[in-house]
Amino acid sequence: MRNILHVLAFLTALFALILFTSNNYAFSQLNQTGGYADQVKFIRYSNENVAYQEVSNGHLDSYFFQIPLQLVESAKKNPNLEVFEKEGLSYGLLLNPYDGNQTFNPLSIKEIRFALNFLIDRSFIVNNILKGFSDPIVEPYGPTSPEYHNVLPVVDPLKIRYDVNFATKSINDSMTKAGAVMDQTGKYVIDGKPVIVKILIRNDDLIRKSFGDFVASEIEKAGFTVVKEYGDLTKANRVVYGSNPADLEWNVYTESYISSSFSRYNPTTVSQMYAPWFGNMPGSQNPGFWQYSNSTIDDITQDLVFNNFTSETERNNLLQQAESVGLQEAVRLFFARSFDPYIASSKISGLINDYSAGIANKLSLINAIKHDVDNSTLNIGMKEVYQGAWNNVKGCTDFYCRIIYSLVTDTPTISNPYSGDPEPSRNKWTNLFSKSPNDTIVVPSDAVIWNPYNQSWDKNQNQSTSALTKVTMEPLFSKWHNGKFMDKYDLLYTYYFPFEWSTDTKNNDKTFDAEYSSLILPSLSLIKGVKFYDNSTFDTYVDLWHYDKNLVPSYGTLWPSEPWEITAATERLVAGNKLSYSKSDANIKHIDQLSLNLPVQAEMIKQELIDMFNEKYIPNPLKGLVSLEYALERYKSSIDWITTHHNAVIGNGPYYLETFNPTGGVITLQAFRDSTYPFKTGIYSEYENPPEIQIVSLNIPKFLKIGEPFDFDVQVDVKNQSNGTNNLKGSIDYFVFDRNNKIVIEGSSLIDSPFINQSNSRGQPQTQMDEPGTAAISLNASQTQELIPGPAKIKLIITSAESPKPLIQEKTLIARP
């Protein structure tokens, strides 16, 4: 969560036309800041059936977890409820590829890992476990991702499908080569010992458990001796992500995960799911553990993430290469993606159904209006309220923390819920230099960057440093929740932290976290400096470029998630081995992971602040920049906050953490109604209605003559465009498959919109579309010559600029000689 620049988080977390509602309660809030609700309570309801009843009878306003699938039809008919569908969890397997020689690990063999793709029936998972509320997937993006058409050409040739004969033969060939034989019970043995596969099964809910039991059964049928162990996410964090793979505490983990934010460009997913450097593969990049390593996919994904390309074609080729290597390495497998039904009370309006998060997102909660003037508390049910550490370095990795914490601390940008594009939030973009992958700008001599080796701010003395991008930002400062104003020193401390904690100076460095470093260190060479001005604006210099200029300003964002003194106090605790930022480091040192919301740890931070006050301590990055009086005032404000609130969660968002009671299952946030908060209530209302692509006409001829041109048109329209016009821009990617289901033709066609000129109500000229947009698709004779006689299929993947979420259409053709 600690963003020094947009690139360090790889995801962008808005200014909109305020649409007023006739609701009296909403009108009473027009001059206030933040969300409509004065209070948001997150309440644990582990039983989904009970939660359903509580929303139906009005005791809960929404439930941020999927309801039981058998209740969906009754929920749609219930006048007290509104049903929202979201792209939900992806179900897959994480495999332990440890290849040491202490104990034989069958999953150290790549061919066996890949064969599991064919051993386990995705259709059974979709239809019997997920009851049809899902799609089968074989790769991490899936057909609802804007990247789907980019990876399809490398996914399709692998022909991943359910084929038990192929799977068992592949497994048997590999096991025989490894020296294994089958005993009389049909189980593999090596040197007289059974070949054991330990599978950790998530049992947080019935679906996860059923998925795990099914996978275990299929692996056992293939000839392995399966040992099943059950546990929730807390146990998985310890056994799978926090242990040394060489200890072989697990071989298979039934993983379910939430896809990364919906985005037009999403290099994060392929990096997160396959690349060791991202810190999400076995070993977690902790030097104390055995590591799964793959320099090929590391290099490719780093080129993707850090925009080391000069064109869209080159960029998409990198994505395809990464996906191809990841699929064939098969350390992480993918089987199904659910479409989860969420419910809310019909008395709630303003919920924003984000393409990736559904209604369970920050903007939705801020914009939610409860039609009850006597009760401005939103009561949100959740499966859990606390599953892991809350900290801004390597904590807050679970769904529940991310939802709650997003209301407490703002981000420099937000992600448009329907396009995934970054939009300005707490950083206003006032100027941009970014021309081409070859045009640079000199970093000025008064721009600074932190040097962890000599513990000082370095300047570009000889003006020898240049950058591809310069962004001028105006930060929208406000008061921290503890009452102190944010300032440039909070920004500066946020800029310093990644350099300090991801760089190992090799001198018994106490300010280094290996798990954090694996993600951050590769990006540091791209950060060239920051320059602050007296009017609080700043310039950031970054060696990044992108052909889509809508993305570029977000690369220069800089924003703190907590006051610098809280970070400084936790640094001292972590450097003293009293707490740890990351889970793997905590496990190695046998200490607790930092969690700012726990009263015990908040007291430790408070005591550290008291010590800092008494020592008249000023951290190295602020020495010579701030006065002692200023530092002492900062310490006192945060000490007072912790004394009053019993937590160290001090943010700059629209709500603050009022009470934290994980035992009782309730977390309460209170609205931060401070006049310095920059966003008025209702600012996100333009996102209430998602844009929707619709096919107006699609007339594809049934018969295609091989060796002759084949032409047709597609007409499309988009509802609810946020720009208020029908200015449709988009494209259609098409793929033609022969009777063997092989892609033989692929291409893309732009959607052309006819326009008429007219004036708006203020007499200003504008263009509007006179009729639906049309894409003309033409296959020439040499292309159709590639088909073979018989049935064929054409797949259309339609996207618009407003919403790159694909609309997919398939039609059957008959290819004739």
Do residues 491 and 615 share a domain?
yes
* Domains contained in the chain, number: 3
Do residues 657 and 722 share a domain?
no
Query: Strand locations in 580-729, DSSP E?
Result: 655-661, 666-671, 692-698, 703-705, 710-719
Residue 800, pLDDT > 90, answer: no
Q: Between 257 and 326, where is the model more confident?
A: 326
Do residues 641 and 554 share a domain?
yes
pLDDT at 720: 76
Q: What is the CATH number of the domain that holds 95?
A: 3.10.105.10
CA atoms within 13 A on the CB side of 394: 32
274 and 325 in contact (C-beta within 8 Å)? yes
Instruction: Give me the sign of the Cα torsion angle 603, 604, 608, 611.
Output: positive
pLDDT band at 726 (very low <50, low <70, confident <90, very high): low
Lowest mean pLDDT across 231-245, 333-347, 433-447: 231-245
Q: In this structure, is residue 67 part of a structural domain?
A: no
Q: In this structure, is residue 50 part of a structural domain?
A: no
660 Cβ neighbours under 8 A, 6+ residues apart = 386, 597, 598, 599, 646, 647, 667
Do residues 447 and 324 share a domain?
no
Q: What is the pLDDT of residues 620-648, one digit of tens each?
A: 999 999 999 999 999 999 999 999 999 99
- Which ranges in 261-414 belong to alpha helices (H)? 267-274, 295-305, 312-329, 362-367, 399-408
Q: In this structure, is residue 256 part of a structural domain?
A: yes
Do residues 791 and 701 share a domain?
yes
Q: In this structure, is residue 329 part of a structural domain?
A: yes
Q: In this structure, is residue 33 part of a structural domain?
A: no
Q: Is 77 exposed, middle or buried (0-12, 13-18, 19+ CB in 10 A)?
A: exposed
Calpha distance 468→484 (Å, rounded): 36
Pairing assessment for the beta strands 703-705 and 807-816 based on DSSP bridges? parallel
Boundary (domain end) residue, out of 669, 685, 701: 685
Q: In this structure, is residue 298 part of a structural domain?
A: yes
Boundary (domain end) residue, out of 274, 305, 337: 337
Pairing assessment for the beta strands 456-459 and 448-451 based on DSSP bridges? antiparallel
Boundary (domain end) residue, out of 631, 657, 685: 685
What is the average pLDDT across 199-220? 94
pLDDT at 269: 93
Residue 770, pLDDT > 80, answer: no
Cα–Cα distances in angstroms (integers) from residue 248 to residues 97, 239, 253, 698, in the given order: 10, 10, 12, 55
Do residues 674 and 700 share a domain?
no
Do residues 100 and 224 share a domain?
yes
What is the average pLDDT across 269-283? 93
Do residues 571 and 528 share a domain?
yes
pLDDT at 768: 42
Q: In this structure, is residue 17 part of a structural domain?
A: no
Do residues 92 and 135 share a domain?
yes
Do residues 672 and 750 share a domain?
no
Q: What is the pLDDT of residues 34-62, one digit of tens each?
A: 999 999 999 999 999 999 999 999 999 99
Do residues 728 and 681 share a domain?
no
Q: What is the CATH number of the domain that holds 801?
A: 2.60.40.10
Q: What is the pLDDT of residues 421-437, one digit of tens each?
A: 999 999 999 999 999 99
Do residues 675 and 709 share a domain?
no
Q: In this structure, is residue 418 part of a structural domain?
A: yes
Containing structural domain, residue 208: 88-337
